[in-house]
Structure 1
Amino acid sequence: MKTRRAFIQKALLSASAATILGSSVALAHPRRRGRGKQSQDKFELGVAGYSFVHFSLDESLAMMKRLNVHYLCIKDFHLPFKSSDSEIRAFHEKLAQSGVTGYAVGPIYMTKSKTEIDNAFEYAKRVGVKLIVGIPNKEDLPYISDKTAEYDIRYAIHNHGPEDKLYPNATSVFDLVKDLDHRVGLCFDMGHNMRDGHDPIRDLARYHKRIFDIHLKNVTAVAKEGTTCELGRGVIDIPNFVNALRKIGYDGKCSLEFEKDMKDPLPGLAESVGYFKGVLDASV
């Protein structure tokens, strides 16, 4: 059985290759799946757009090329809510030139009025995605449930850890959505879940039928004070998390949301990508 040290060594080698060769590999094989066990996985690796909050779209896509990652959860600082149809087309064309697909929008806060909810669904429809990551008021959940049925767009509520008075963990979301339309569920932030004292591996198994998106990260401690770190360096057992993903047949995206060194995220993202791909190859 592979040791944790072996995982980390393989991850670092993969990270170096991703950083040095990523641009040419991405262009040559924009949709190539991993070998071995990775080729059987239903889930895909992506990046949550918030990781690039300090960077333009061009700079963000250049980093994704180097990482050889092809899925992006779109944030409005890269594609504003009021973008015209022609601007949206140009946005998708630019992503395609880099071998990237925008698969969702958000997270979007919608706590001021139902108009924000209406606008978010119209935005997702115009952008052409079938998933919104959002943070709504609890009392608006029945309204959102109706919207998901009307638009046939899934809505994933993001949990934000112990500081979040609305949705600190996966259980707090699931208990509210379990009886709503089947298109209302979770964007499972596994790191914030752990910071709130909840086991992400156990909760993935418990709530997987309502988990539509995952913010893939590790954290430094099982405590409010815990912070995001490189995927192989934290307290979450990533190899067992991967095994759990495979066991439940998860078929969504695992998008890295890297909140450490946000003004220089590429080294940490590259290490995390390399580690994750190494785990995919080595996990049983």
Structure 2
Amino acid sequence: MNPRILLALALLASSLSGALQAADAVRDDHAAEQLGWHLATKCYTFNKLTLVETLAITRRLGLRYIEINPGQRFSAEQPVNTDHKSTPELRAAIAQKLAEYGVTALGYGVVPLGKDTVADRAVFQYAKDLGIGVLVSEPGADAFATLDTLTAEFGIKVAIHDHPKPSPYWNPESVLAAIMGHSAAIGACADTGHWARSGLDPVACLKQLDGHVISAHFKDTDKIGQGARDVPLGTGKAGLAAMLGELKRQHFKGLLSLEYESGASGETLIAELQQCIANFDKAAGDLAK
């Protein structure tokens, strides 16, 4: 059978049972959704677990969205990578599990993109197959002409991520310089935690990127500076209310991935993520009034 037909049939069949996996947590995300903010699990937070396990935790947390991580395995029974090199059959299985858990994949990354049109097209096709609208990457300087073409062809955006040095995109100025003269579908993935670790004020960075923020890896940290550690949103120095206030001022609508790298695991990690979500929802509620 044609692989595209196989994937379409899997999507159709799984959509009929999309409510099979009910959320364990009762979360009121009305304010966030009203503002156009889709708080998602960044699958890297659970990189030692499988995608299926991550979907179960996502629903336990009351979240409805994920950003897929290229290095994550699919399941204990099928410990194969869920990245863009996956087979059509695995993509169909991923789509089915997403629908079963009632979770939507909005992003994929951080994934390499370069000037190789064939290699890049495979990444975009993977995103299209799973209904993903944002690719998060740190593309080479020679990649942007190709990305202009592919973002237009596929209707998929590229968000440039800001790992600390030696990444060339560690600060907003470098991102703005890279995207100048290119498609509006190419912008920033605002990793607020990495900005803090680079000694940058996350709120000021968001202001610099006004109009160019496509998505975020949304974090709070215990300090601004080298060695800053992730802490629950709203308990650190990044300024949760101020960051969200700036995003609202910019009329940002889109993917905010909850990536959490505190070193916690098990139920401690779950509890800290629950605190992140509760504080995020309260701040969103205040801004939606």
Question: Where on the TM-score scale, by shorter chain, does this alignment land: which range?
Answer: 0.7 to 0.9
Contact 1:92/1:102 (CA < 8 Å) preserved in 2?
A: no
* C-alpha distance 269-173 of structure 1, shift in aligned 2 (>3 A): same
Q: Partner of 1:16 in structure 2?
A: none
Q: Any idea what SS the aligned residue of 1:274 has? A: helix
Specify which structure has the bigger relative contact order, considering alpha-carbon pairs within 8 angstroms and separated by 6 or more residues.
1
| Aligned match for 2:233, one of 209, 231, 234 | 231
Compute the TM-score of the two structures, normalised by the length of structure 1.
0.81
More helix by share: 1
- Amino acid paired to 2:271: P
- Map 1:67-216 → 2, pairs under 5 A: 67-76=61-70, 77=72, 78=74, 79-110=82-113, 115-161=118-164, 163-216=165-218
Compute the TM-score of the two structures, normalised by the length of structure 2.
0.80
- Amino acid paired to 1:237: G
Q: Partner of 2:26 in structure 1?
A: 25
Contact 2:32/2:38 (CA < 8 Å) preserved in 1?
A: no
Q: Partner of 2:43 in structure 1?
A: 49
Name the CA distance, whole Å, in 1 between partners of 2:103 and 2:210.
Answer: 26
- Per the TM alignment, residue 262 of structure 1 is displaced from its structure 2 partner at its CA by 5.4
Contact 1:134/1:157 (CA < 8 Å) preserved in 2?
A: yes
Counting matched residue pairs gives 256
- Per the TM alignment, residue 194 of structure 1 is displaced from its structure 2 partner at its CA by 2.3
Name the CA distance, whole Å, in 2 between partners of 1:197 and 1:69.
Answer: 30
Contact 2:113/2:143 (CA < 8 Å) preserved in 1?
A: no
Name the CA distance, whole Å, in 2 between partners of 1:220 and 1:211.
Answer: 24
Unmatched 5+ residue regions in structure 1? 1-20, 27-31
- Amino acid paired to 1:155: V
- Per the TM alignment, residue 277 of structure 1 is displaced from its structure 2 partner at its CA by 1.1
- Per the TM alignment, residue 269 of structure 1 is displaced from its structure 2 partner at its CA by 1.2
Name the CA distance, whole Å, in 2 between partners of 1:154 and 1:97.
Answer: 26
Q: Partner of 1:278 in structure 2?
A: 282
Q: Sequence identity of aligned pairs in percent?
A: 26
- Per the TM alignment, residue 117 of structure 1 is displaced from its structure 2 partner at its CA by 2.4
Unmatched 5+ residue regions in structure 2? 1-21, 75-81
